[in-house]
Chain A
Amino acid sequence: MIEFDLDQSDVRELNAALHNSDIAKNQSKWKVRNTKGRHAIAVGIDETLEMLIDGHVGYYCAGMNKHANITVNGHCGPGVAENMMSGTVRIKGNASQYAGATAHGGLLVIEGDASSRCGISMKGVDIVVKGNVGHMSAFMAQKGCLVVCGDAGDALGDSLYEARLYVRGKVASLGADCIEKPMKLEHKAELKELLKQANLSDINVDEFHRYGSARTLYNFNIDNVGAY
């Protein structure tokens, strides 16, 4: 176990150690204390390791994560796990704006609520939120799944591409080109697996609705030609 106390050393030292493959390859367990809302904690990890971040974190925690399993025992500021490639990021508290933005892969679990723009432009990550998500979530989401066990705010899935959205509670409103679609067996199976990975197997998949793209914004509409 390697432990960093951010009252004693700064975030640059922590991230430099994580990026030094001689250190990171030989240390499978990491712990960070006294985070106090600092920014860019545990960013750019490219190793299979376990990381416990004990406390609230600021902007961009666990950004660009590859391979690592990161747990944040607290709340997160904006942009947690943005551009994640693989691995797992688990937030025990709430997440601020644009959690999992543009992330390509891996699993992001938020055990509290996520605020606005959760999963904006997601490109393959799976995001499971135990609570609610704010407005404009999954805006322009391209690939992957956003699972919301609570309610979703306004304009869910606006200008959506091929990401799949599963919401258990109420949706305040759907964004442009986002529609409800039937929950087929394959979707229930996919959702069940995601809930299992998020340690939320006790939640019944039959309570969810599925939303996806109507695909009407994909191509140029010839009826609009006169406008150019």
Chain B
Amino acid sequence: MRRRLSIVLTLLTVMMLGVIVTGLSFGEPGAAPMDDYFIENSQSESGANNVVTAVLFDYRGLDTLGEAAVLFTAALGTTLIFRRRRDD
């Protein structure tokens, strides 16, 4: 019963995603002005040849700070799970 419900749920999700995806066009992004600005001005504004790095560390730096914090928290949590307990 549960197995059949899981299969139906998976098929429904896949169909929903498929309906959403057919509205998108491949090869011609719908909203590009922000990226065009980054590509045109990243060399003159941040001096980096690699536009992805310029976006990652300059334009959207706070994003990267949060990402580094997530990695730090994951390491902290993993260490806490395997800490040496005093009672055993």
Whether chain B is bound by chain A comes out as: no
Residues of A within 8 A of B (CB): none
Residues of B within 8 A of A (CB): none
